[in-house]
């Protein structure tokens, strides 16, 4: 299975985040999956790539030309796909992946995982989506999701769009045993003309 991992490109973050990234890469390899990610040589992206690669997983890095030209492409990816821009990068990652995991990250990580959740909500795909909530990193995001449910900006059934894992083991267990849920895609209220 091709597992796409969205994650931080920061090298300045605490070691606890790198530990989970390395464990995730190890597990992807040991469970005979392929890693798909943003292909950069920094932060959690590189940590998960190195760990997956050195433990026997195939790794596919998808990176836009501009970042490659800044010498940010990982040399630890078995396959590197160069895209013209970020939009094509995200589309390629989505298209070739069978599941999505978000490790902690900044704006780019949030944008990527929220986009795949939105596309799942709209039934463009039925692939599993998992957050690994290392160190409670995503707690405030999940509180914002609850505000959306409580205030009827989103339906409570949309909690089924994603899974929150405490550990990389829990994340992969969920993905490997995943059965898509049929969601109510009707709008709350359609205004008549």
Domains and CATH numbers, the chain: 2-176 (3.40.50.450)
Confidence at 188, pLDDT banded by 50, 70, 90: low
Dump pLDDT digits (tens) for 106-155.
Answer: 999 999 999 999 999 999 999 999 999 999 999 999 999 999 999 999 99
Q: Is the pLDDT score of 8 beyond 80?
A: yes
In this prediction the pTM is 0.94
Measured distance between the N- and C-terminal CA atoms of the chain, rounded to whole angstroms: 47
Dump pLDDT digits (tens) for 48-94.
Answer: 999 999 999 999 999 999 888 888 889 999 999 999 999 999 999 99
Q: Cα 139 to the chain's mean position, in Å?
A: 16
- E strands, 19-98, in order: 34-37, 59-64, 79-83
């Amino acid at each position: 299975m091709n597992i796409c991992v969205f994650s931080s490109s920061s090298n300045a973050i605490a070691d606890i985040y790198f530990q989970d990234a390395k464990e995730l890469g190890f597990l992807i390899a040991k469970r005979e999956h392929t890693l798909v990610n943003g292909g950069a040589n920094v932060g959690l992206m590189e940590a998960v790539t190195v760990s997956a690669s050195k433990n026997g997983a195939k790794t596919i890095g998808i990176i836009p030309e501009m970042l490659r030209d800044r010498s940010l492409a990982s040399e630890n990816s078995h396959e590197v796909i160069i895209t013209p821009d970020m939009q094509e990068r995200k589309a390629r990652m989505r298209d070739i992946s069978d599941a999505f995991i978000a490790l902690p990250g900044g704006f780019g990580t949030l944008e990527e995982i929220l986009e795949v959740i939105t596309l799942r909500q709209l039934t463009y795909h039925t692939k599993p989506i998992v957050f690994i909530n290392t160190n409670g990193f995503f707690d405030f995001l999940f509180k914002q999701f609850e505000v959306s449910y409580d205030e009827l900006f989103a339906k409570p059934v949309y909690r089924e769009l994603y899974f929150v894992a405490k550990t990389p083991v829990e994340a992969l267990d969920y993905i490997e045993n995943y059965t898509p849920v049929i969601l109510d895609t009707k709008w709350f209220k359609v205004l008549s003309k």
